[in-house]
Structure 1
Amino acid sequence: MPATLTQLLARPELGLRPLTASTVGDPDAPLAWAHSSDLPDPTPFLAPGQVLLVTQPPEDADPYVERLVAHGIAALGFGTEVVRDGTPAALVEACERHGLPLFEVPYRTPFIAVARFVADRVAADAYARSTWALRASRAISLAALRPDALGAVLSELSRQIERPVALVGPDGAVSRSFPSGALDARARRALSDAAEPLLRSGRRAAGTVGTDAGPFAVQTLGAAGRLRGVLAVGSEGLDAAAQQVVTGVVALAGLALEQSRAADAARARLRTAVWRALVAGDAAVAASIAEPVLGPLPEAPVRVTMMQGAALAAAADWLESNADGFFARDAHDLVLIGDESTAVEVATTLAVRFDLRGGVSSGTTLDALPAAVAQAQTARNRATADDPVAAFDDVAGAGMLALLHTPDARAVAETSLRPLVAADPSLPDVLRTWLDADGVYDVAARRLGMHRHTLRSRVAEAERLLGRDLSSFAARADLYAALRASA
């Protein structure tokens, strides 16, 4: 540890004499350096935690000492018998008043001797901390050779820096913490809340968070786009040497997590194979493949969810810890087969958390998956930014005309109705009212507030502009669909 004022004043060979009470300032605070200057205001050239040595008494002691205290100077030493004998009483009083420790340096003690003592202790402390960092890094590296490499590394880090350490998984929950019992439920929740936005961003990032167990530094683990978790380390009072050790652990923890990627990739391929077997109609084969590794497939009735987006890999990692049903990646789709009652809720959670869009089928069995897949895809096409998950039951309940509200249908409708709009912008509304009245002229004319013969004339004009006879059901249905799609 660096020198303290108490240790400095205790050196008999220096002969330093304290002039202020031992309760003034903090005599046990570490001293960063010792510097001499007789400038009226030396603070621009000093750093907090330093000792200032002077021989020239200040003209006005009170503001001089006030500036030193505001700058964080640890102590003031006055050299006697250079400019004057003894230390000015005004300086002693000012130091007492502002809480700055003051000591007297006898003429026989050169300032360089005081500076050398502080510098030697600073250098010794730096060497000791570097040596500790090397020993700690070696112990952590050896821990990485144990069977549970990640757990051993984090446990050893906690022991070496004497701070709590936690790992937040890709699902946003604290999966490990060291030492055992160091984090209560509120601290775990605070770490999870701090980690969640980092994980959702998908980018490498770091930050800090305050908890009941003290402040923590948080750092993402893994590559951008597929983060593997967040490392949280108690950061209160960590010096540069400890930070260096933590930085090494971040690399080791990331490596340990990446080593599991091969196993994860194998499981992902197995999931895809099971899914394709299900779609091909080989439910029995799919179940026999999934059972030993992935567990039993969900029992009917189930719903199929199809999701798309840029963060499918991160969503799949989250599902590894949170999914109750079956899921798989297939090309650009994330597919889920889950309980009928919770499928929409799970899909909505994924959509919000990972910015995905999806569709959920009606209830089905594993033998009827192809039809359920088509339903889920149809529903997904209806998803929007405001409503990122659509259920096929809602789509079907809205009827066939609801399917017309797509950009493609609108483009076709606007093209087919363009002659009407160009001739008379009010004509589409007239035709829509006429068709809503089932083509009955008397009813439609009353709604429009015009004579029925005028309405017949307007419909005849529309037939001429469109080049079609609107007396048939098919022609009227096509026109009605175009009017609905363009609305």
Structure 2
Amino acid sequence: MRVRDLLDMPELRLTALDDGGAAGLDRELRWVYTTDLLEPADFLAGGELVLTSEGWYRTPADCETFAASLAQGAAAALVAGDILLGEVPPALVDACRRHGIPILAVPADISYSALSRTVIDRINRERGRVLADVLGHHRRLVTALVDGADLGGLVAMLSTELGTPCWALSTAGRLLAGPGEELSAAVRGRLAAHALRAERLPATEEGHTLLPIGRRSAGGGLLVIRGTPDDTGTAAQTAELLALGGARRDERRRTEQRFHAQLVELLDQQAPPTAVSARLRTAGLATDRPLVAVTALTRGALRSWDLAADLVEST
């Protein structure tokens, strides 16, 4: 629910005395708080619709103190009544304008308890709809997983639901899923590097939102979303579910790792060429082409083999 929605609720009969500047009426309302404290900032968590009857008012200078405190507490908007003073002090309107706080006037016959109840009920209904959408989204993803969808299928579903391109990248920037032609290798590399350096995820880089797939420390890869999702929390939960879709890829990787480890053991043991060729074929490697052995040293990597494979496959 946003501040401008209050003006469209006829039962409240609110009027805007000042819109708080650019996008002031588009601020999201998170709760309602009634106060006659001169400095209520310590009791605000941000996003509140503050209701006041100006019981704190003694001189016009108090309006500056009150409005500054609302701004400090990140209040979304102020509803002011005139039941005590007979009018909303012009100094309060001016102070709210200076601090970018939308200020609305309420008629004297509208009780603050009724106003609070009406607004809170509306906020809770909208939150319920959002929660239902989130649960439906997760249910569709889980159903797709049960039906055998892999990482590519899940990323395609997410892209359709968000209405924007999405990609899954390895920790080295290799494309795992998504429309590769819309995200160049150079951009993928920069996004992956930024994600590795970032103190925390999600993060934004080059117009894309970056989220870890699963636990970041597990090295499950990176979910890239073009633009910024309306609900980053939901996107982050989706990225955790994508880790389940990547489990099939991880199992395939572990199988390849076992085959490759056995191949290295055969070479160390100077096994007959026929045995080596058979193991090469099992590992999906050509027997009639030269092979290059690559070694890598990692520090602190929980899945060093996967990282090495990503680096090799990305070149």
User: Structure 1 length normalisation: TM-score?
Assistant: 0.54
Deviations 1:114-161 (A, max 9, x none): 222221222112211221121111211232245651211222233334
Pick one of 26, 41, 44 that aligns with 2:42: 44
Question: What is the SS of the residue equivalent to 1:166?
Answer: strand
CA contact (8 A) 1:274 1:287 kept: no
Say if 2:222 is the partner of 1:231.
Answer: yes
Question: What is the SS of the residue equivalent to 1:294?
Answer: coil
Rounded Cα–Cα distance in structure 1 between residues aligned with 2:235 and 2:11: 35
AA at the equivalent of 1:218: P
Measure how far apart 1:194 and its partner are. Answer: 3.5
Question: Where does the alignment leave 5 or more consecutive residues of structure 1 unmatched?
Answer: 199-204, 324-345, 347-487
Pick one of 256, 259, 277 that aligns with 1:267: 259
Aligned to 1:469: none
Question: Where does the alignment leave 5 or more consecutive residues of structure 2 unmatched?
Answer: none
**Aligned in 2, Cα 1:181/1:71: closer, same or farther, shift over 3 Å?**
farther
CA contact (8 A) 1:271 1:290 kept: yes
Measure how far apart 1:66 and its partner are. Answer: 2.4
Rounded Cα–Cα distance in structure 2 between residues aligned with 1:79 and 1:312: 60
Rounded Cα–Cα distance in structure 2 between residues aligned with 1:32 and 1:312: 40
Rounded Cα–Cα distance in structure 2 between residues aligned with 1:208 and 1:253: 20
AA at the equivalent of 2:183: L
Pick one of 2, 5, 10 that aligns with 2:3: 5
Rounded Cα–Cα distance in structure 1 between residues aligned with 2:90 and 2:252: 71
Deviations 1:419-457 (A, max 9, x none): xxxxxxxxxxxxxxxxxxxxxxxxxxxxxxxxxxxxxxx
Aligned to 1:187: 187
Rounded Cα–Cα distance in structure 1 between residues aligned with 2:38 and 2:302: 65
Rounded Cα–Cα distance in structure 1 between residues aligned with 2:200 and 2:22: 40
Rounded Cα–Cα distance in structure 2 between residues aligned with 1:196 and 1:94: 45
CA contact (8 A) 2:46 2:74 kept: yes
Measure how far apart 1:190 and its partner are. Answer: 1.5
Deviations 1:281-310 (A, max 9, x none): x224423542463212655xx998888988
Question: What is the SS of the residue equivalent to 2:221?
Answer: strand
Pick one of 28, 51, 54 that aligns with 1:53: 51
AA at the equivalent of 1:174: R
Aligned to 1:287: 277
Pick one of 256, 259, 262 that aligns with 2:248: 256
Rounded Cα–Cα distance in structure 2 between residues aligned with 1:133 and 1:95: 36
CA contact (8 A) 1:48 1:74 kept: yes
Question: What is the SS of the residue equivalent to 2:125?
Answer: helix
Q: Structure 2 matches for 1:75-114, cutoff 5 A?
A: 75-81=77-83, 83-114=84-115
> Which of structures 1 and 2 has the bigger CA Rg?
1
Aligned to 1:211: 205
